[in-house]
Structure 1
Amino acid sequence: MSRRDVMLALAATGLAPAAWAQPAWPSRPVQMIVPFPPGGQADVTARPVAAALERVFAQAVPVVNRPGAGGILGTSSVSRAAPDGYTALMALSSHAVLPESERIQDRVPAYTTEQFAPVARITADPTVLLVPADAPWRSVADLVADARRRPGAITFGSAGNYSTLHVAMAMFTGAAGIDLLHVPFQGGGPALTAMLSGTIHALASGPGPALPHLREGRLRALASWGQERLPALPEVPTFIKLGYPDVEFYIWTAVFLPAGTPAPVRERLRTALRDLCARDEGLRRALDAAGSPVAFQEGEAFEAFFQADSARLIQAVRRIGKVD
């Protein structure tokens, strides 16, 4: 039977010929956009996830770092991408914060969260407060006492104004009643590099990028923003245990697609991520080694988490206010 005869037979049964012609997804490489430079939390997560997806799809999944404006440039580029499943975003918890920060700065947001379809959360780690290993502060109490003696003299870095790392530090400095000098960078990776070179004094970071330097003894962790101590850093206390009950923050990573991406494509990607996070030992080992274990979440549970977390972070950004 010729292809034309098959299509006529399909039409006779009510099936659209277009369905026959539609190639299976993915039939070509799928770009995973990281809207930050290499070395930050989104990048550390994206690379083993992309490598695992390549094994499943038998297609290349290149990780493309597209930094700028604290994550806005890369994220907005995905919002404008064709909704065909061939451009995905590895986002951080700042995903909902950035449009609000644009409004605070009296600018039209470059994107809105409604332009994206959430697929799944991959990790969710409490942020860690880092200082250089040779810094004089052995504890949060030491840092706070020094900051009160020298307002504005101690610097902290971030991935940019209103970024995840900026918001986390704003929560801490507000609760402690101290004034630190904010030094924004183009991403968490450059901020961490600045910390290692002695350019800045403190940094909130996801544990993944920081863990190798903590193990090498180049950095010191003073506290974490979680409810419980991190398994990878059991000696590091939480801010909650140190008497800061409202200083709780998680830097999560999640995969999004442009809104309007066909449901079968979204479901294929979601299913692949679910199975990989549950069963792929290579992926799980890579994320564990990076200090960011799998914290997979999907569907209604992830959407509910995303909405609740976004509302809390937007409130924090509004407390920061307009940044000159």
Structure 2
Amino acid sequence: MTKHLAHRLFASCATLVVGAMGLAGPAAAADAWPSQPLKMIVGFAPGGGNDILARILAKELQQSLGQSVVVENRAGAGGLIASEFVAKAPKNGHTLLLGSIGGNTIAPVLAKSLAFDPRKDLAPISLVAESGNALLVNAKLPYKNVKDFIDAARKEPGIINYASSGTGSTLHLAGALFAQQAGVNIVHIPYKGNSQALTDVAGGQVQAIFSGIPPAIVSAKTGQTRILAVTSKQRVKSLPDVPTIAEAGLPGYVFSSWYGLFTTGGTDPAIVERLAREVHKIISKPEVQAQFDAQGVEPVTSDPKSFAAQVDRELSRWSRDVKAMNITLD
């Protein structure tokens, strides 16, 4: 073989190897991932619905991925502080966000300004669960049902307070929608998280809260609070004897939430798809579904493309609907 021919063969082989590497790039990147511990960011304080589900999911992901998954709470601004942190994280799939309808599609349209683009800077991975909320009151109050609560609010406008996990949160919007449809004046008291809000309802500093169902169940078991109804269209499995608000005195009222997993926008699509598959496998486990059922949420998954389309639709929807409630974050 001549030296010239050998050189040409070597160059051709090198080109084929480089080309093959390029074709295998995304798959190889996903196979090599994760190369370090992961963070799962939660936009609300410990003890809330987002936090409880994040810890269930983190534990399962840690087992399936072989890397530690640490839950980190960054509360404030209706979930926007956490979303911004993930939006500005390295685009390597090692920083995750357990998001929700409030933090990812309501709070962004309520804020006067954003330091990130909720459509481009966060990559939707999969839905995790859907849930209603629970109307919870201090157990020492005389309200035994939704009708009692509405009658009292009509009798004394502006006297009844309700807590939430923050201005612009789903808990805030659930209460605002309730007040609008019932024609009552109840005063919103925002907190930085569901846990402290529930503590103050239990202690009597605030009369009521439209709480996430998981922490509402925990609170009601102490005997300090009472669940009057749930905001979902149908009763929830873990609270079969608790009526919906529509059943209990406010026909037509429905407010449902969802929880979902995100990572930083611009992350390799192969990694996003890998995470979506992992979430689907986790949520399909009977033991995980049982944990979700016990928390009053419905396990559900989706692919990244359909989840992104849902987020886009809801951003457009809430940008129209919240104007009628005159709610702003700033």
What secondary structure is seen at the aligned counterpart in 1 of 2:69? coil
Q: What is the CA RMSD across the aligned residues, in angstroms? A: 2.3
Q: Relative to structure 2, which stretch is displaced further, 144-153 or 108-117?
A: 108-117
Q: Describe how 1:59-208 pairs up with structure 2 within 5 A.
A: 59-94=67-102, 95-102=104-111, 107-114=112-119, 115-208=121-214
Q: Give the TM-score normalised by the residue count of structure 1.
A: 0.89
Partner residue of 2:227? Answer: 221
Aligned-pair distance for 1:260?
0.6
Q: Indicate conservation of the 8 Å contact 1:10/1:16, yes or no.
A: no
> Which amino acid counterpart does residue 101 of structure 2 have in structure 1?
S
The answer to whether residue 20 in structure 2 is matched with residue 12 in structure 1 is: no
Q: Distance in 2 between matches of 1:144 and 1:21?
A: 59
Partner residue of 2:65? Answer: 57
Gaps spanning 5+ residues in structure 1: where?
A: 1-7
Q: Indicate conservation of the 8 Å contact 1:213/1:219, yes or no.
A: yes
Partner residue of 1:268? Answer: 274
The answer to whether residue 53 in structure 2 is matched with residue 45 in structure 1 is: yes
What secondary structure is seen at the aligned counterpart in 2 of 1:285? helix
Q: Indicate conservation of the 8 Å contact 1:126/1:207, yes or no.
A: yes
Q: Distance in 1 between matches of 2:202 and 2:51?
A: 18
Q: Distance in 1 between matches of 2:174 and 2:124?
A: 23
Q: Distance in 2 between matches of 1:59 and 1:320?
A: 44
Gaps spanning 5+ residues in structure 2: where?
A: 1-11
Q: Distance in 2 between matches of 1:110 and 1:190?
A: 28
Aligned-pair distance for 1:180?
0.7
Q: Give the TM-score normalised by the residue count of structure 2.
A: 0.87
Q: Distance in 1 between matches of 2:240 and 2:15?
A: 63
Aligned-pair distance for 1:252?
1.5
Describe the superposition over 1:251-290 as per-residue Cα deviations: whole angstroms up to 9, x where unpaired.
Answer: 21100111111011001100000011112x4422332222
The answer to whether residue 264 in structure 2 is matched with residue 258 in structure 1 is: yes
Q: Indicate conservation of the 8 Å contact 1:99/1:110, yes or no.
A: no
Q: Indicate conservation of the 8 Å contact 1:100/1:109, yes or no.
A: no
Aligned-pair distance for 1:322?
4.6
Q: Distance in 2 between matches of 1:36 and 1:49?
A: 16
Aligned-pair distance for 1:86?
0.7
Q: Distance in 2 between matches of 1:244 and 1:145?
A: 12
Aligned-pair distance for 1:36?
0.9
Aligned-pair distance for 1:298?
2.8
Q: Indicate conservation of the 8 Å contact 2:92/2:268, yes or no.
A: yes
Q: How many residues are matched?
A: 312
Q: Relative to structure 2, which stretch is displaced further, 126-135 or 232-241?
A: 232-241
Aligned-pair distance for 1:52?
0.1
Percent identity, please: 32
Q: Distance in 1 between matches of 2:315 and 2:199?
A: 28
- Tell me which structure has the larger Cα radius of gyration: 2
The answer to whether residue 329 in structure 2 is matched with residue 321 in structure 1 is: no
> Which amino acid counterpart does residue 96 of structure 1 have in structure 2?
T
Q: Indicate conservation of the 8 Å contact 1:167/1:313, yes or no.
A: no
Q: Distance in 2 between matches of 1:197 and 1:136?
A: 15
Q: Indicate conservation of the 8 Å contact 1:71/1:187, yes or no.
A: no
The answer to whether residue 35 in structure 2 is matched with residue 27 in structure 1 is: yes
Q: 1:211 aligns with which of 217, 224, 230?
A: 217
